[in-house]
Amino acid sequence: MTAAPAIEAGGSAAAIRHHYDVGNDFYSAWLDPTMAYSCAMWDGLPDDAPLEEAQHRKLRYHSESIGAAPGMRVLDVGCGWGAQMRTLIDDFGVSSCTGLTLSEEQAAFVRANNGPEIAVESTNWHEYSPAMPFDGIVSIGAFEHFAHPEQSQEERRALYRRFFESCLSWTEGRGRLSLQTIAYGSIDAGKANPFITTDIFPAAELPTLEDIVVASQGLYRIVRLRDDAQDYARTCELWAKRLRQAAARGEAGGDAELIDRYYRYLRLSAAGFSMRRIVLLRLRFDPIPRTTRPPR
Amino acid sequence: MTSPAPGITAVDIEKWFQLHIASLTGLPPEEVSGAADFESFGIDSVQGVDMLVALENWLAMPDDIPMELLFEAPSIAEAASRVADCKARAARS
For residue B50, the chain A residue with the least C-alpha distance is: A264
Cross-chain Cβ contact A264/B49 below 8 Å? yes
Q: What confidence score (pLDDT) does residue A14 get?
A: 65
Q: Which residues of A touch B40 (CB under 8 A)?
A: none
Q: What value does the mean pLDDT take over residues B12-25? A: 95
> pTM of the predicted model, to two decimals?
0.87
Interface residue B77 vs chain A (CB under 8 A): no
Q: What confidence score (pLDDT) does residue A2 get?
A: 42
Q: Which residues of B touch A199 (CB under 8 A)?
A: 44-46
Query: Which residues is A137 bridged to in the sheet?
Result: A75, A177
Q: What confidence score (pLDDT) does residue A190 get?
A: 39
Instruction: Give the helix/strand (H/E) hosting A60.
Output: helix A51-65
Q: What confidence score (pLDDT) does residue A229 get?
A: 96
Interface residue B30 vs chain A (CB under 8 A): no
For residue A195, the chain B residue with the least C-alpha distance is: B45
Cross-chain Cβ contact A271/B62 below 8 Å? no
CA distance B63 to chain A (A): 6
**pLDDT tens-digit map of A201-231:** 555 688 999 999 999 999 999 999 999 999 9
CA distance B70 to chain A (A): 10
Q: What confidence score (pLDDT) does residue A203 get?
A: 58
- Picking from A194, A199, A274, the nearest residue to B68 by CB comes out as A274
Q: What value does the mean pLDDT take over residues B62-88? A: 90
CA distance B61 to chain A (A): 11
Superfamily designation of domain B10-92: ACP-like (1.10.1200.10)
Cβ-contact A179, A254 below 8 angstroms: no
Residues of chain A with pLDDT under 50: 2-10, 189-198
Q: What confidence score (pLDDT) does residue B6 get?
A: 66
Q: What confidence score (pLDDT) does residue A172 get?
A: 97
Distance in angstroms (rounded) separating the CA atoms of residues A138 and A60: 11
SS3 content of chain B, % helix, strand, coil (to 5): 65, 0, 35
Query: For an interface test with B, which of A230, A267, A268, A269 has the most B Cβ atoms less than 10 Å from its Cβ?
Result: A267
Distance in angstroms (rounded) separating the CA atoms of residues B15 and B18: 5
Q: What confidence score (pLDDT) does residue A69 get?
A: 98
Q: Where are the domains of chain B?
A: 10-92
For residue A274, the chain B residue with the least C-alpha distance is: B68
- What value, to the nearest 5°, has the Cα angle with vertex A102 and ends A205 and A123? 110
CA distances from B56 to A4, B3, B17, B23 (A): 28, 11, 12, 18
Q: What confidence score (pLDDT) does residue A6 get?
A: 34
Distance in angstroms (rounded) separating the CA atoms of residues A143 and A3: 13
Q: What confidence score (pLDDT) does residue A108 get?
A: 94
Interface residue B21 vs chain A (CB under 8 A): no
Cross-chain Cβ contact A199/B53 below 8 Å? no
Q: Which residues of B touch A197 (CB under 8 A)?
A: 45
**B11: pLDDT strictly greater than 90:** yes
